Amino acid sequence: MSRAVARAHPNIALIKYWGKQDERLSLPATGSLSMTLDIFPTTTAVELDPRADADTLQLGGAIAGGVPLERVSRFLDLVRERAGIRTPARVISHNTVPTGAGLASSASGFAALAAAAAAAYGLSLSSAELSRLARRGSGSAARSVIPGVAVWHAGDDANSFAQSVPAPAFSMVVATVDAQQKVVSSREAMRRSVQTSPFYPAWVTSTAASLQDMLAACRAGDFTRIGELTESNALRMHATIQASWPPVRYLGAASIAIFDRVAALRAEGVETYATADAGPNVVAIARPADAAAVADALRPLAAVQVAQAGPGVRLLGDDEAAA
């Protein structure tokens, strides 16, 4: 095969990935846990192009160069090295995630790219191998390879990949308050946390402990405990970030208003908890039966979409692959 198309979805972490132990290998300082969503897919086609001198990238219909092309090209180098093929590729990607606003478009992007590139270059990879590969493009892409709830293990290159975790069903209400580009990229903010936040070492150890608690809560099907750990871990990540020098604040007034509304809903008996990645958007988790009520309550405050557990990355057949 010299052309393949893959589709992947973003994931939202309940226990956050924040901080690398190895930048080049994209190895996280701690494990993390997420749910892959069923909304905002990225569809990516990779086609080998023997007549080209270099890789080309089309993002959302526009030719992309600069840093985005470099990142894709460096990633394709990993695939080519493994496949023993030096042919450049044409990459065409369509992303439905609002870019750079705290929802992980890079996760779905590199998960889809990993699967499409591996197939186009003739590699046959297990789910764990694909997750390891996607990790090299963008850490959290390791998790978007896996359907539903996934744990991404810390560790060395060989064993840092994501795996499925049995968990009770819950929904995510994605509240988008600001789809603009962030002032400080999460890559830069993560680096700043590692280098300057006095809370970073304790963030790493406390997150490792929370991950173990979260895995136990998932096993036990204890939604309350899952929710409490989710909200606490998110607040700790943002605490670590805002303790950096100079400080970075991702949660704006509109974000905090959603955290407050979520807390008020809990007080009213609708059990929901909030989390937020490195951006202003907030995601509420709730039991599936409560998701519509949570979405209704948040709609006056933000653009709202309800997501369920989504599929892992998959290759599209010719009939589906209009990308």
Q: Which residues bind its own copies (CB under 8 A)?
A: 198-199, 201-203, 205-206, 228, 231-232, 235-236, 238-240, 242-243, 245-247, 249, 251-257, 259-260
- 166 vs 252, which CB is nearer to its own copies? 252
- 235 vs 293, which CB is nearer to its own copies? 235
- 85 vs 257, which CB is nearer to its own copies? 257
CA dist 177 → 186, 202, 257, 275 (Å): 17, 30, 10, 14
Query: Least CB distance from residue 309 to its own copies, whole Å?
Result: 26
- 61 vs 300, which CB is nearer to its own copies? 300
CB distance 262 to 272 below 8 Å: yes
Query: Least CB distance from residue 180 to its own copies, whole Å?
Result: 14
- 117 vs 258, which CB is nearer to its own copies? 258
> Three-state secondary structure along 43-109?
EEEEEECCCCCCCEEEECCEEECHHHHHHHHHHHHHHHHHHCCCCCEEEEEEECCCCCCCCCHHHHH
Query: Least CB distance from residue 196 to its own copies, whole Å?
Result: 10
In 3D space, the residue among 127, 164, 183, 126 whose CA is nearest the CA of residue 35 turns out to be: 164
Query: Least CB distance from residue 208 to its own copies, whole Å?
Result: 11
Query: Least CB distance from residue 272 to its own copies, whole Å?
Result: 15
Which class for 193: exposed (0-12), middle (13-18), buried (19 or more C-beta within 10 A)? buried
- 257 vs 323, which CB is nearer to its own copies? 257
Distance CA 112, CA 137 (A): 11
Query: Least CB distance from residue 197 to its own copies, whole Å?
Result: 9
The distance of Cα 290 from the centroid of its chain, to the nearest Å, equals 24
